[in-house]
Amino acid sequence: MIFDILTETRSILRDRTQWTTQAYARDAHGIACTAIDTNAVCWCTVGAIQKAAADKLGGGDDAWELADNVMAYVIEQSGDSADPAIISYESQLADINDRHGHDMVLALLDAAIARIEAGGRHVG
């Protein structure tokens, strides 16, 4: 299921206008909102993963656990030397999103997707 969430996240974020920083998501007026807010029109990497997981599982604890697993997979596969003071995978991914930009986000997602495809199995 991680593969499904990664590909959906990539699809959400492929258009730069659907990507944001400094918030999980934003509405059409640029106001920060939750990743699953029906008014959201753009997401950060973390928010897009949360949205994809919630859409797949209908929300709830299982969706958040899946989102956490996807974030862990992306960070572990990236080999990124994120700030060691940042403890959670969510925080590390948000930091990468905000500091390195849209192209880096897409590259991370592409690398994680390719890793699963190369292994011939769908992790999760």
Q: Map out the domains of the chain as residue ranges.
A: 2-118
Q: Are strands 25-27 and 40-43 parallel, antiparallel or unpaired?
A: antiparallel
d(CA 84, CA 45): 20
CA neighbours closer than 13 Å in the CB half-sphere of residue 33: 16
Predicted pLDDT at 76: 85
CB 24 within 8 A of CB 34: yes
CB 75 within 8 A of CB 83: no
Q: Average pLDDT of 51-68?
A: 95
Average pLDDT, the chain: 91
CB 67 within 8 A of CB 75: no
Span 74-108, pLDDT tens digits: 988 877 555 555 568 899 999 999 999 999 999 99
d(CA 12, CA 48): 7
Range name among 1-5, 80-84, 115-119 with the lowest pLDDT average: 80-84
The rounded Cα 62 to chain-centroid distance in angstroms is 16
